[in-house]
Amino acid sequence: MSFANTIRRRLILLVFVVFGVSVVTFVISHLIPGDPARMMAGERATNETVAHIRAELGLDKPVPVQYIEYVRGLLHGNFGISIRTQRPVIDDILLFFPATIELAVAALLLAIILGIPLGVLSAVAKDRAVDQVSRTISVTGISTPAFWLGLLLIYVFYGRLGILPGSGRIASDIPPPPAVTGFYTIDALIAGDGRAFVSALTHLVLPALTLGFIHLGIVTRQIRSAMLEVLQEDYIRTAKASGISRARIVFHYALRNALIPSVTMIGLAFGDLLYGAVLTETVFAWPGMGNYVVQSITALDFPAIMGFTVVASTAYVLLNMLVDLVYMALDPQIREVG
Amino acid sequence: MANTELMEGKPPVAVAPGGGLLDWRYVRYRFAHSPLALLGLAIILFVLAVMALAPWIAPYDPARLDLLHRLAPPGPLHWFGTDQVGRDILSRIIWGSRVSVTVGFGIVAISMLCGTALGAFSGLAGGGIDTAIMRVMDVLLSFPSFVMAMALAAALGPNLTNAMLAIAVVRIPFYVRLARGQALSLRERPYVKAAETFGASRIHIVIRHIIPNAMAPIIVQSTLDIGVAILTASALSFIGLGAQEPTAEWGAMVASGRDFLLDQWWYPTFPGLAILVTAVGFNLLGDGLRDIFDPRLRGK
């Protein structure tokens, strides 16, 4: 399969996904018992005010018309107005998205840096004590409720030891660095603001550890099983027979090949970080998309929920496409066979 | 949901050679030589025992208020301490197992039954029907499933039954895909062809031949899924979309304990530990089963 083919297939899927997401979220938003116009107007508003807001939001029109208007808006990047924040949903998303990405990237880096050596060790020493320990760590990782781990870390490092902050992205008395990438750590470095950098980094540690630990399990398992598979190959046996050192066999021959299938899994795991991020952000009051969507759901703010779901699904499909492309670039066999 | 990509990406394959009956002696042998799988099984049996024996082993009534002993630290009277209205946390965890674990089983049962039926049907129907069903599943699998579950649970109204339904619905596509793959490979088998030749109805073939033979990988997947389901349901309860006070549900207990974290650490800690231990049990057992049923790993 060629690059162009993969891109085309994924983009077609993307159209269906966005269509599907828009239908599903639209239907859901019309199933809810609450009246968004009344919620927006407040409890004491008169019926006329509510009717006025309803007309303003287009809620008095027939449902199919509302749907068509909604999709037309989506195509123009107009996701509607958030009932809770009273701001355009797209502005809210642009505001909160970088925080989530910063957290997810930091968590994924942690998971990869720790997970690859652990997975390799586990495969090389299969069924020995090291392997059992590493498998226990990885199973614990995937079995840990993210929200609970976050609370424990806050208790220990903020409550007891007092060495790390327990909530937010940056200390309240430090102004956020001017936005370039949207990542506070990187933006602080660009601005040459040492104090802001240290503050942003220390705020990032606990949430990233929480989210990273959950994914450490996924990375370790994947690397272990890919390594086990590769270590069975004929060329490894040949390499052993040729007297090449064990370290060179493991890192030069086996790991390089084991990383290829792992790219897919780790890439997909990045999409899953969204799930963990929702809970982690709630616990750490991290001002990202996860926190935003939880608050929107609690307030039954459906324009915001729909906007978030559409953006998240689009990102997910695009990420899958990127993963496929990287996979193809790494493994020439797939390019030629397909 | 999180934690499951690995399982979905690599479904466990086939049963005994030929896809026929299980070789139980082999299964027992492998099990006996897999300490982690045995540990998983032991944990699950322990949790099931706690569920069954809750009325006899819980030291207190889980709903009994004791305002004189509010937020008592762990001690001889209350091993895991008490909450803000003096309820015994250990007793609530013991009774809560009936809620949290049952919900996990319920989610998997619903998604497995619906997904397997639809997947088997799709694989056997083939042609346009199959393509249409699978494209819809592709689209559903591209949704961030936890967010969809949250939105569904919020729309249906925040309670435990709705949370369970919401999670089950978003997990159906995984089973559809798995069962369809099985159906595609099984329908080419000689005994299925033979049944077709004898004029057996499609329903008969699905019930008598496809489903029994496709079950092993589906059972492995569902064992791993129970852990995920328990975690997800507790997560929805934690953010207020699942079980509500005063239900003793583990996720909801962590949520209420959150406000007391810094001074009464035991309150959110022990219910969360119960979730962790139970999920570890199902994941260890599921991993062990997968190793046993996956012929590619045999002999390694």
The ipTM, to two decimals, is 0.85
Q: In the predicted model, is pLDDT for residue B18 greater than 80? A: no
User: In terms of CA atoms, which chain B residue is nearest residue A152?
Assistant: B269
Chain mean position to CA B34: 22
List CB contacts (< 8 A) between B157 and chain A: 33
**Which residue among A152, A278, A305 sits closest to B269, beta carbon to beta carbon?**
A152
Candidates A270, A291, A274, A273; CA nearest to A282 is A291
The C-alpha of B142 sits at a distance from chain A's nearest C-alpha, in angstroms, of 6
More confident residue, B153 or B291: B153
| Interface size between A and B, measured as CB pairs under 8 A | 175
End-to-end CA separation in angstroms for chain B: 30
User: In terms of CA atoms, which chain A residue is nearest residue B141?
Assistant: A17
Record: contact A139-B272, CB cut-off 8 A: no
Q: Please, which pLDDT band fits residue B185 given cuts at 50, 70 and 90?
A: confident
Q: Give the whole-angstrom CA distance, residue A307 versus residue A315.
A: 12
Position B140: which residue type? L
More confident residue, A132 or B97: B97
CA triplet B218, B222, B223: central angle to 5 degrees?
120
Q: Please, which pLDDT band fits residue B294 given cuts at 50, 70 and 90?
A: low
The predicted pLDDT at position B295 comes to 53
List CB contacts (< 8 A) between A225 and chain B: 10
Q: In the predicted model, is pLDDT for residue B6 greater than 80? A: no
Q: Please, which pLDDT band fits residue B300 given cuts at 50, 70 and 90?
A: very low
Contact predicate A119/A266, CB 8 Å: no
Q: Give the whole-angstrom CA distance, residue A18 versus residue B219.
A: 33
pLDDT digits (tens, 9 = 90+) for A177-206: 888 888 999 999 999 888 999 999 999 999
Record: contact B251-A232, CB cut-off 8 A: no
H helices of A58-162, in order, are 63-75, 89-124, 129-143, 146-153
Q: Please list, in sequence order, all residues whose beta carbon lies within 8 angstroms of the beta carbon of residue B236, skipping any fewer than 6 positions away.
A: B149, B150, B153, B163, B166, B167, B242, B251
List CB contacts (< 8 A) between A313 and chain B: 142-144
Q: In the predicted model, is pLDDT for residue B129 greater than 80? A: yes
The C-alpha of B280 sits at a distance from chain A's nearest C-alpha, in angstroms, of 5
* Residue numbers in chain A where pLDDT is lower than 50: 337-338
What is the pTM (predicted TM-score) of this model? 0.86
Q: In the predicted model, is pLDDT for residue B112 greater than 60? A: yes
The C-alpha of B196 sits at a distance from chain A's nearest C-alpha, in angstroms, of 33
Record: contact A275-B157, CB cut-off 8 A: no
Q: How far is CA A333 from CA A330, B112, B166, in A?
A: 9, 35, 41
Record: contact A155-B148, CB cut-off 8 A: no
End-to-end CA separation in angstroms for chain A: 4
Candidates B220, B52, B117, B150; CA nearest to A277 is B150
| CA pseudo-torsion sign A79, A82, A87, A92 | negative
List CB contacts (< 8 A) between A229 and chain B: 296
The C-alpha of B23 sits at a distance from chain A's nearest C-alpha, in angstroms, of 23
Chain mean position to CA A88: 23
The C-alpha of A294 sits at a distance from chain B's nearest C-alpha, in angstroms, of 7
List CB contacts (< 8 A) between A154 and chain B: 261
Q: Please list, in sequence order, all residues whose beta carbon lies within 8 angstroms of the beta carbon of residue B267, skipping any fewer than 6 positions away.
A: B71, B81, B83, B84, B89, B253, B256, B257, B260, B261
The predicted pLDDT at position B12 comes to 41
| Encoded tokens for B271 | 């219910």
The predicted pLDDT at position B13 comes to 40
List CB contacts (< 8 A) between B284 and chain A: 139
Q: Could you give the angle at which helices B127-141 and A3-31 cross, rounded to 10 degrees?
A: 80
Category of A42 on φ-ψ map: left (φ > 0), alpha (ψ -120 to 50) or beta: left
Mean pLDDT of B140-154: 80
Contact predicate B236/B167, CB 8 Å: yes
Contact predicate A107/A208, CB 8 Å: yes
User: In terms of CA atoms, which chain B residue is nearest residue A160?
Assistant: B262
pLDDT digits (tens, 9 = 90+) for B236-278: 999 888 888 888 899 999 999 999 999 999 999 999 999 999 9
Q: In the predicted model, is pLDDT for residue B189 greater than 50? A: yes
Percent of chain B with pLDDT over 70: 90
SS (H, E, C) B254-273: HHHHHHHCCCCCHHHHHHHH
Q: Give the whole-angstrom CA distance, residue A99 versus residue A205.
A: 13
Q: In the predicted model, is pLDDT for residue B151 greater than 90? A: no
List CB contacts (< 8 A) between A317 and chain B: 142
> 3-state DSSP call for residue B59?
coil
Q: Give the whole-angstrom CA distance, residue A78 versus residue A26.
A: 15
The predicted pLDDT at position B113 comes to 92
Of the residues B7, B143, B278, the best mutation for testing chain A's interface (the one with the most A CB atoms within 10 Å of its CB) is B143
Candidates B115, B109, B104; CA nearest to B211 is B115
**Which residue among A132, A143, A149 sits closest to B280, beta carbon to beta carbon?**
A143
| CA pseudo-torsion sign A306, A311, A313, A314 | positive
User: In terms of CA atoms, which chain B residue is nearest residue A161?
Assistant: B262
Q: In the predicted model, is pLDDT for residue B144 greater than 80? A: no
The C-alpha of A192 sits at a distance from chain B's nearest C-alpha, in angstroms, of 35
> Using the 8-state DSSP alphabet, how is residue B73 labeled?
P
